[in-house]
Amino acid sequence: MYVLGIETSCDETAAALVCNGKKVLSNIISSTLAQHRKYGGVIPEIAARGHIQAIDLVVARAVKEAKIDFKKIGLIAVTAQPGLPGALLVGNVFAKVLGFALDLPLLEIDHTLAHLYAPFLDPDSRRRAAKFPFVGLAVSGGHTSLIFFKTFKQFKILGQTLDDAAGEAFDKVAKILNLPYPGGPEIERLARLQLKPKLRFNCARLKNTFDFSFSGIKTSVLYFVRDWEKNRKRPRVMPIKLKAEIASAFQLAVVEVLVEKSIAACKEKKVKDLVIGGGVAVNLKLRASMILKAESEGIKVHFAKIPYCLDNAAMVAGLAYQMLP
């Protein structure tokens, strides 16, 4: 079955065609990122207007690139939540109207769960896919959640962030260091200049729970930078070496807590597969540390392929196929 996925929860207007929940035939993403950059974060009004301008073209291109006729589509899937209300509205209204015009059923999909379906897209025949039950870590700019899946329809949230999401912390720390938005890739790039930082930041551990908290570490970085500015001898910008030290120490602390809690969740649930998706899953330090630790515990990690980590509609279409009765 060909499923058309539509995703407009944040600043990406995305559409994709996926066959039988696995094979991605097209994956089109248009973003208003450049317009948000000067504000240091996503402006909901700009995102919603961007979706209105792009959605028809993005959907048409996804169908054209998949080289299938609209008549061959069996289902439309759209991200219903969570996300920016105005942005979600555009995708949902478009999907409803298209479904009505083409006489197609419509399935509403949860964005966080879709991120955890991303590792199942375009499977590599040489690698074993994750098997139920498994634990999923959704780690992005909007969410940080650990979820236990018995099936795609039967799952339990084990823990989530109580304040900022991990990606949001990357974005905020980048802003403190005067780096552009989005901060994740910028911090990762800088951190590569200082692989063994002497500085140390810590994330709140929140004992005996799988919940996370990332707002404290962001404040620690802010205070550190403020102190440095107060004590500097003459007005000058922070040297790149110190910025790299801060970026690397921050990244290390976030990765440590994500690895620690994910492995602990797998052990508690006695599962051997850990599935990871979301924008922060692009981070190579996270990938390497998670794989290293998990494999030493006999747990297999399944990261989403890089093009399916950030917001996209292929993950929405793929999950929709699995949600069919």
List of residues contacting Zn ion (CB under 5 A): 140, 311
Give me the least distance between CB of 170 and ligand KG4, in Å please. Answer: 4
- Partners of 324 in the beta sheet? none
Q: Is 23 helix (H, G, I), strand (E, B) or coil?
A: strand
Of residues 20 through 49, those in contact with ligand KG4 by CB under 6 A are none
Q: Does 10 bind ligand KG4 (CB under 6 A)?
A: yes
End-to-end CA distance of the chain: 14
Contact range with ligand KG4 by CB under 6 A, out of 20-28, 72-80, 167-175, 259-267: 167-175
9 within 8 A of 51, measured Cβ to Cβ: no
Contact range with ligand KG4 by CB under 6 A, out of 152-160, 183-191, 259-267, 268-276: 183-191
Give me the least distance between CB of 17 and ligand KG4, in Å please. Answer: 20
CA 61 to CA 66: how far, in whole Å? 8
CA 314 to CA 122: how far, in whole Å? 10
- Upper half-sphere CA count for residue 45 (Cβ side, 13 Å): 1
Whose Cβ is closer to ligand KG4: residue 6's or residue 63's?
A: 6
Contact range with ligand KG4 by CB under 6 A, out of 134-142, 144-152, 197-205, 225-233: 134-142
Q: Does 278 bind ligand KG4 (CB under 6 A)?
A: yes
What token pair was written down for 188?
């990762």
Whose Cβ is closer to Zn ion: residue 187's or residue 316's?
A: 316
Q: Which does 170 bind (CB under 5 to 8 A by kind): ligand KG4, Zn ion, none?
A: ligand KG4
- Upper half-sphere CA count for residue 16 (Cβ side, 13 Å): 33
**Cα–Cα–Cα angle for 157, 163, 167, rounded to 5 degrees:** 85
Whose Cβ is closer to Zn ion: residue 248's or residue 262's?
A: 262
91 within 8 A of 78, measured Cβ to Cβ: yes
Whose Cβ is closer to Zn ion: residue 168's or residue 311's?
A: 311
Q: Does 280 bind ligand KG4 (CB under 6 A)?
A: yes
Q: Does 7 bind ligand KG4 (CB under 6 A)?
A: no
Instruction: List the strands of the sheet with 134-139, edge to edge.
Output: 155-160, 144-149, 134-139, 273-277, 300-303
- Upper half-sphere CA count for residue 186 (Cβ side, 13 Å): 21
| 7: phi then psi, degrees, rounded to nearest 5 | -135, 120
| 292: phi then psi, degrees, rounded to nearest 5 | -60, -50
Whose Cβ is closer to ligand KG4: residue 2's or residue 214's?
A: 214
Q: Which does 167 bind (CB under 5 to 8 A by kind): Zn ion, ligand KG4, none?
A: ligand KG4
Q: Does 117 bind ligand KG4 (CB under 6 A)?
A: no
Binding-site ranges for ligand KG4 (CB under 6 A) = 10, 140-142, 167-168, 170-171, 182-185, 188, 278-280, 282-283, 310-311
